[in-house]
Amino acid sequence: MTTKRNPSVLIIGAGATGMLAAIRLREAGITDVTIIEKADRVGGTWRENTYPGVACDIPSHHYCYSFEPAPWSHQCALGPELQDYMEYVGRKYGVTEMVRFNELVTSCVYDDHGKWTVKTDKGAVFVVDFVIAATGILHHPKFPEIEGLDSFAGDSWHTAEWNHDVDLEGKKIGIIGTGSTSHQIVPELVNAGHDVYVFQRTPQWVFPFPNLKFPEWMRNRWRAKPSRMRPWKWFYQTFVEQFFVKATIGAPVQNALLNFSVKSYLRLAVRDRELRRKLTPDYGVGCKRLVVNFTFYPAIQKPNAHLITEGIARIEPGGVRTKDGNLHELDVLVLSTGFSNFSYMRPMEMVGKAGHAIEQSWGEGRYPTSRAILMEHFPNYFLMLGPGTPVGNNSVIGMAEAQMGYVLQLIDLWRDGRADEIEPTSEAVASFGAFLKKGLTGTVWLGGCQSWYQDADGVPAIYPYKWSTFIKSMEAVNTNELTMRQFQKDEVSHAV
Ligand code: NAP
């Protein structure tokens, strides 16, 4: 019987994917695992985003770990419940105790002999065999480039940095942006009776999905016997995979149904023609990330809600001046302007083989990877949810579970002594880029909108194929796509 080698693995980030990576590594018998987390708690997205109305917009029985179903209170869990869930999973699976909190990774440098040196802002230095970057996709708040933004005299913040110390009672609140986040916040503020001014640059298509509350007796039945949740997971998973994902990649029936749903919803929910005109996008359904919501349209029609579409000229101490010359006086200005895309694990110093810096690979709007996990010149370094990952509007937790299975197979090549250094070939990287690009034809993402979905070469940051294709692509590692090196022996390229 041969014993497997036990590698040292460092995980960056203790959000949903970092915790998953730690759990799976431990299950595989890998004991030397360190997690570095910049914040003081696990949870990632659900720890950071605490804005009013924060909730998942994917059904929670599907948006959770496959091995840890939960008796969710709502069809789409609210932010605090998701955060509690993440913390619970962290405790139950012994992840929390493995995490170094309040510590930021500042550099990852490869030594050309199978080891990464990882440094943190606390002065700690780790030398490890593998790094897993579980840093999430959208986490660096994007501040709009609007003249006078800093001159605003009232309180102002980005949605990901909600200031709970400010009492909003009796205040005039402005919100710039109308993405998924804004669609969740606006109804909360309007329904609480605040005077809300929504500055819309581009309208969004909205898929109607009421957030049903599950009755307590049902949740008790789930608590008593968790296997009762299986049909729910199956139902939601099937709905998302067979309807949403297929609609986005151009399946005719699903796409027609999606178009019918969002367009009829807008027509039925907004009866005022002028308001409806303002809320009607001029691009294809799903081209920008679809908003899943059932509360925004009713809220925006209330007397204390104001939709402003004239375009922002500048921000002044007293409020927002629009291009028609009007000054919209405000006490609070909320920036719901999204996140810097393609940041992933950056900013940090990242130097791979032979001094190759990440900027040399990921520059000029290009983010090449192999299977969204591996990068050429950065051996033994794996991305969770890297560019080319999101599969339609599906659960990123499901995607991460599939990717982690692939990562474990890669690590197993090392554990079995078949390789000390694992890197994708340049052909594999080029072929994955071409594969993603080819898949874009016929998808909703070419629907004539401005979106962050494509890089400078037209390679999408999302995965433009069916869920089953993605799952299949994660089933078995194809060693022909890898350059594997053993330092004791001669270099073995494309080893099988
Ligand atoms: P977003 O979708 O990127 O929307 C940003 C909004 O800000 C857009 O309406 C954009 O207008 C506007 N904007 C940006 N710069 C502007 C400027 N200079 N002037 C005027 N308007 C400006 O951001 P988000 O709503 O925070 O959502 C980000 C992502 O988070 C979503 O795509 C989704 O993946 C995720 N999300 C998920 C959930 C969930 O429940 N799962 C909830 C919320 C968010 P343009 O459209 O004209 O650029």
Which atom of ligand 1 sits closest to the CA of residue 338?
23
**What is the four-CA torsion angle of 455, 461, 464, 466, rounded to 10 degrees?**
170
**What 8-state DSSP symbol labels residue 446?**
G
397 Cβ below 6 A of ligand 1: no
CA angle 290, 291, 296 (to 5 degrees): 155
Which atom of ligand 1 sits closest to the CA of residue 57?
40
Distance 204 CA to ligand 1 centre (A): 10
The residues that bridge with 174 in the sheet, in sequence order, are 197, 333
449 Cβ below 6 A of ligand 1: no
Which atom of ligand 1 sits closest to the CA of residue 160?
26
95 Cβ below 6 A of ligand 1: no
Alpha-carbon dihedral sign for residues 90, 93, 97, 100:
negative
Buried b (16+ CB within 10 A) or exposed e, 326-352: eebebbbbbbbbbbebbebbeebebbb
Closest residue by Cα to residue 65 from 474, 397, 393, 395: 397
pTM for this predicted structure: 0.94
Closest residue by Cα to residue 263 from 205, 307, 333: 205
Task: Give the pLDDT of the chain (496 residues) as one tens digit per residue.
Answer: 568 999 999 999 999 999 999 999 999 999 999 999 999 999 999 999 999 999 999 999 999 999 999 999 999 999 999 999 999 999 999 999 999 999 999 999 999 999 999 999 999 999 999 999 999 888 899 999 999 999 999 999 999 999 999 999 999 999 999 999 999 999 999 999 999 999 999 999 999 999 999 999 999 999 999 999 999 999 999 999 999 889 988 899 999 999 999 999 999 999 999 999 999 999 999 888 899 999 999 999 999 999 999 999 999 999 999 999 999 999 999 999 999 877 888 889 999 999 999 999 988 778 899 999 999 999 999 999 999 888 877 899 999 999 999 999 999 999 999 999 999 999 999 999 999 989 988 888 887 787 667 777 777 788 999 999 999 999 999 999 999 999 865 444 443 3
Pocket test for ligand 1, best of 64, 138, 180 (most atoms within 8 A of CB): 180
Closest residue by Cα to residue 293 from 367, 208, 365, 420: 208
